[in-house]
Homo-oligomer: A and B are copies of this chain.
Amino acid sequence: MAEVRSPDTRERILDAAERLFMAHGYEGTSMRQITGEAGVNLAAVNYHLGSKEALVQEVFRRRLDWLNDERMRVLNAMEAEADGKPLKPSQIVDGFFGTLLRMADDERRGGITFLRLLGRMLTDPSEFIRAFFAHEYSEVIDRYKEALFKALPDVPKAEIVWRFHFMLGATSYAIAGTDALRVVTDWQIEEADATDRLDRLVPRLMSFLLGGLRAPLPQFSDAEAVGK
């Protein structure tokens, strides 16, 4: 009885799917494109993965399992070192977002391709993709929120949850890097290389996130009188 050994066909499918889903989205990528780019037979996806839905879930799972384990490991280590005292907000933000962003330099973990894929898919409309993320992320999100509650005891919990949401948005949009609105313009030479660009992004994004997290609490104008 031969055992389920599965050569690199499966991995080549996942790699090709990762690239193509990043470039064209889930619905915009066909099985024929994937198997063509991977250099395998069309039927190989259904044989090794089962279906297109199972494929995209596996594309994320093989990266997110490591990422969220690492986030947990980092948080546990920081909390052990702090010995019961609250962590600094910057530590927590770095543990969650910094750990993600450092994946860009690690080609074994998908590198920048996976980061951009994740940034785009977090707002993907497909119901089963949203449900998958919610399940995959709930534990680590809860732990980091608790750490922030403890680090910022004077800020209402609801406020922290909102700001966590905003930080996620700024990060996922930044790493998606679509430049949909061509925000980065001519006189910014750069655009050298995607990885290189991310090196310069990370410290800037972290400053922005911390600035937003520690911003003064909003003033609610009575009767919702708009602004100003």
Contact = CB atoms under 8 A, between A and B. Distances in A.
Interface stretch (A1-9, A34-42, A45-53, A177-185): A177-185
Contacts of A181: 122, 133-134, 137-138, 141, 168
A80 interface: no
Given A165-B173, A170-B166, A213-B211, A203 B182 contact: no
A60 to B, nearest CB: 12
Contact of A201 (B162, B168, B173): B162
Nearest to A221: B203
Interface in A57-71: none
Interface in A115-174: 119-120, 122-126, 130, 133-134, 137-138, 141-142, 157-159, 161-174
Contact of A208 (B122, B138, B215): B215
B217 A207 contact: yes
Total copies of the chain: 2
Contacts of A207: 215-218
A221 B199 CA distance: 11
A38 to B, nearest CB: 19
25 contacts: A27-B28, A28-B125, A28-B126, A119-B123, A120-B124, A123-B172, A123-B178, A130-B178, A134-B180, A138-B181, A138-B182, A141-B182, A157-B187, A159-B204, A163-B208, A164-B183, A165-B184, A169-B172, A169-B174, A200-B224, A203-B221, A207-B218, A208-B212, A211-B211, A212-B215
B98 A226 contact: yes
Interface of A is mostly: helix
Given A119-B123, A123-B173, 20 more contacts: A25-B25, A25-B126, A90-B228, A120-B124, A123-B123, A134-B181, A138-B181, A141-B182, A141-B183, A142-B185, A163-B204, A165-B184, A169-B169, A170-B170, A170-B212, A211-B211, A211-B212, A211-B213, A211-B214, A211-B215
Nearest to A217: B207
